[in-house]
Structure formats: C-alpha cells, structure tokens
C-alpha cells in the first residue's frame, strides 16, 4: 500500500528517496541548478537536458543561440531571473527570482499541427498543476494563458525559425509564477502559486511534472492526434462558452466563444449570428 502511494506521488512529479531500512524521504527540491540530474530519469519520448543560468536577458535568447549552434531537441534553458523577459505581442514579462522561467528547444519535422503547440504548452502547465498540487481552479484562456480566478498564473511564448515548409527550430517559452513576488504594476493582473496555496512550492518536481505532461502532449501533436488535444484543452478552458472581445489584426470582434477548430483557431459568433474564425489575437473575457 505504502509502495503504491509512493509510486503515485512520484508519478505526480514528487521526488522521493527510498532507503532499504529507513523508509522513504520526500525531498523539497527548489534548487533548479540540480534540475538536470532530476530530469534524467524521466520516462519521456524526447531526451531532455538542462542549461541552467542564474540570470540572463531572456531564456528565449539563450535557447535560440544554442539552437543555431546545433543544440539537440529537448534542450531546456532555465533561468533564476530574467532582465528582459518577453511576453506575447511584444509585451514585457516580469521574471523575478522564485519563478519557473523555461525555454524548450524543439525540432519538429513538419509544420502541420504546429499551430497547436501553444495550446498544448498551456495545457501541460494546467495538467501539471492539477496533477501535482490538486488545484482545480486553474483555467486556460485562449490561446494559452493560464489563469487562476482570471489572474495570470503562467504564460506561453512560442518563437521559431521556419523557412517555406521547413522548420529549423521552435522555442517554447513557459513562465510560471511559482514563489516569485508579483510586482506592484501587475498586482491586479497576475498571481503566484505561493500566494494561492499560502506556502512555497518546490520547483524541481513541478518542472518534472510539466516536462512529462508536455512530452506526452507533444507526442500527440506530432502524431496528429489533434482531436484529443482540442477536447482536453476545451475541458480546461474558461474561454469557451463565454462572451468575449477579441482584438485581432486591428479588428475588434465581440461575441460568444463557441469552440475551437481542429487547427486551434477560435470560433466566435457575434450578436448578429455571424461566425468569425480567429487565428491570433488578444482575448478579453467579458462575463
């Protein structure tokens, strides 16, 4: 029975040492410089390796430079803090110490289904959080914001180098507010796990859980199992069924978010019953 529980906790990302006579010890590992060691035994399709830095401008920049030097798929760049963290649509991303700031290098062969990459990244954060910490109120806002009570808990930025239909590399940037303080300027917009749960969260088990979920979903994506991805994303979504306002390429559309198409685009039906399909943009939940 104890063994079963230990295995269950391990599958959620917790790191538990076992000693033949002394029993088990749950490790609270928040030291990301040790992440490389703790990712090496993960049962994943891709082999993940960690490049850890104490501080940098953006983990996206480091991952890009290493990608251009030929680094293999599965490289995970992690920083303790970033001075020029980037968000979507050219926004600043505040990345103080205590958060989980990672960039994952991928080298997919084909472009097809890649538009779902940002969806699966957000989904893997939500699944890791609900699996490891049992937080159920974490929701996805299209395309890939992770929200808790409408405040941003995590964000995703997908960048890459693509030519015609050839993909050189893709960098998936994932930022999770874990134990970091939230700056005053964005206090009304963002929230950390520490403030939700009232205690610090060990980041290494969270990273393990996140990588494991990401790896499974990424494998579904490259094998074109899009229906499963769309269904799961919809299950965790707070956008679908809501009245929303979308700002997309200078156009503003207001209506009910009806669902996702198989390519990840959002279907909106406006007050006149007209259907709109949105491929990129900023969503505001109205009610």
| Chain residues in the site for ligand BTN (CB under 6 A) | 58-60, 82, 85-88, 91, 93, 95, 101-103, 145, 155-157, 173-175
**Which of residues 14 and 140 has its CB atom nearest to ligand BTN in the complex?**
140
The Cα 77–Cα 60 span in angstroms is: 8
Q: What's the min distance (Å) between Cβ of 282 and ligand BTN?
A: 10
Q: What's the min distance (Å) between Cβ of 87 and ligand BTN?
A: 3
By CB atoms closer than 10 A (0-12, 13-18, 19+), residue 49 is middle
The Cα 246–Cα 224 span in angstroms is: 28
**Which of residues 127 and 141 has its CB atom nearest to ligand BTN in the complex?**
141
* Token pair 């990588």: residue: 211
Count Cα atoms within 13 angstroms, Cβ side, for 40: 6
Which 8-state DSSP code applies to residue 183? P
**Which of residues 77 and 255 has its CB atom nearest to ligand BTN in the complex?**
77
**Which of residues 74 and 85 has its CB atom nearest to ligand BTN in the complex?**
85
Q: What's the min distance (Å) between Cβ of 229 and ligand BTN?
A: 20
The Cα 258–Cα 236 span in angstroms is: 14
Neighbouring CB atoms inside 10 A of 146's CB total: 25
Q: What's the min distance (Å) between Cβ of 25 and ligand BTN?
A: 31
Q: What's the min distance (Å) between Cβ of 58 and ligand BTN?
A: 3
**Which of residues 206 and 255 has its CB atom nearest to ligand BTN in the complex?**
206
Helix axes 203-222, 226-235, angle to 10 degrees: 140
With CA atoms as reference, report the closest residue to 190 among 156, 154, 152.
152
The Cα 53–Cα 62 span in angstroms is: 10
* Token pair 């200078």: residue: 250
**Which of residues 53 and 222 has its CB atom nearest to ligand BTN in the complex?**
53
Q: What's the min distance (Å) between Cβ of 198 and ligand BTN?
A: 24
Residue nearest to ligand BTN (CB): 155
């Amino acid at each position: 029975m104890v063994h079963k529980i230990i295995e269950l906790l391990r599958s959620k990302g917790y790191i538990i040492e076992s000693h033949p006579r002394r029993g088990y010890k749950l490790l609270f590992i928040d030291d990301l410089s040790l992440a490389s060691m703790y990712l090496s035994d993960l049962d994943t399709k891709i082999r993940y390796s960690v490049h850890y830095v104490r501080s940098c401008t953006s983990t996206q920049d480091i991952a890009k430079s290493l990608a251009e030097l030929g680094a293999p798929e599965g490289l995970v760049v992690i920083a303790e803090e970033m001075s020029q963290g980037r968000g979507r649509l050219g926004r600043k991303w505040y990345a103080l110490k205590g958060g989980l700031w990672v960039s994952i290098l991928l080298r997919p062969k084909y472009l097809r289904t890649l538009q779902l990459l940002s969806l699966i990244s957000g989904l893997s954060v939500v699944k890791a959080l609900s699996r490891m910490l049992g937080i159920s109120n974490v929701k996805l806002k299209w395309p890939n914001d992770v929200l808790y009570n409408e405040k941003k808990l995590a964000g995703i930025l997908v960048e890459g180098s693509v030519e015609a239909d050839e993909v050189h590399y893709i960098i998936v940037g994932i930022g999770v507010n874990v134990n970091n303080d939230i700056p005053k300027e964005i206090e009304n917009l963002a929230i950390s796990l520490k403030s939700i749960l009232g205690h610090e969260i060990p980041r290494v088990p969270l990273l393990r859980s996140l990588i494991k979920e990401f790896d499974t979903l990424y494998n579904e994506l490259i094998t074109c199992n899009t229906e499963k991805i769309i269904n799961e994303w919809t299950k965790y979504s707070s956008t679908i069924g809501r009245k929303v306002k979308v700002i997309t390429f200078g156009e503003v559309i207001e209506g009910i978010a009806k669902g996702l198409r198989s390519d990840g685009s959002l279907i909106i039906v406006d007050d006149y019953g007209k259907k709109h399909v949105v491929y990129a943009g900023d969503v505001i939940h109205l009610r």
